[in-house]
Amino acid sequence: MAINLQKGQRVDIGLQKVCVGLGWDENNTGGMDYDLDASAFMLGENKKLPEDEFFVFYNNLISPDQAVESSGDDLTGGNRDGGNDNETLTVDLEKVDPRINEIIFTVTIHEAEKRRQNFGQVHNSYIRIYNAITNEEIAKYDLDEDFSIETAVEFGRLYKRNGAWRFEALGNGFKGGLQFLVDKYVS
């Protein structure tokens, strides 16, 4: 059963492998497709990427330590037969490079400004974290309700505390899409 975390709440993960799933419905109202993207920023002590390759997204599908892997880019949404997510980030916490202290999970809308799109227009959009072995959901955000005008969201973060991994629900929305987040986390 999923824990309905509020922004800022934390929970011990106690797992080796987790997944972050992103899903949304395709655009049936005309206009351009909705292209949502799940990304992971693997950060060091200084809250920055130790190397650019620790940014896992549609153009870099796996981290150098092979701890975080993306399923790839779904350009249109929908197509969730059997309830599967449109995009998934799989995380093996035992493989995480020792320089990494936290992993920030984000979702953005590709070319949101050009397409004049925001999460409020995308139907049934969500991001969730779950146990990769049992598929048990840990936490989930509905993006269309909570982030109606934003184009980038920091969903949550995995971070190390006393040698154990924990998850914190962030729920921070921003305008500026993926570029805003890249500017924030790249040295």
Backbone angles phi, psi at 3, to 5 degrees: -90, 125
Residue 5 lies in a domain: no
β-sheet bridge partners, residue 22? 87, 127
**CATH code for the domain of 36:** 2.60.60.30
Q: How many domains does the chain have?
A: 1
- What domain range includes position 43? 10-185
Residue 32 lies in a domain: yes
The size of the chain, in residues, is 187
Strand-pair category, 10-12 with 164-174: antiparallel
Assessment of whether the complete model's pTM goes beyond 0.85? yes
Where do runs of H (alpha helix) occur along the chain? 112-115, 143-146, 177-185
Residue 2 lies in a domain: no
Residue 159 lies in a domain: yes
Residue 76 lies in a domain: yes
Residue 4 lies in a domain: no
Instruction: Provide the residue-wise pLDDT of the chain in tens; the chain has 187 residues.
Output: 344 556 666 667 778 999 999 988 888 887 888 899 999 999 999 999 999 999 999 999 999 999 999 998 887 777 655 568 999 999 999 999 999 999 999 999 999 999 999 888 888 888 888 999 999 988 888 877 778 889 999 989 999 988 889 988 888 999 999 999 999 999 7
Residue 41 lies in a domain: yes
Residue 169 lies in a domain: yes
Strand-pair category, 87-92 with 36-43: unpaired
Compute the distance between CA of residue 22 and CA of residue 11 in angstroms, rounded to an integer: 20
10 Cβ contact list (under 8 Å, min separation 6): 166, 167, 168, 169
Compute the distance between CA of residue 183 and CA of residue 173 in angstroms, rounded to an integer: 15
Q: What is the pLDDT of residues 176-187, one digit of tens each?
A: 999 999 999 997
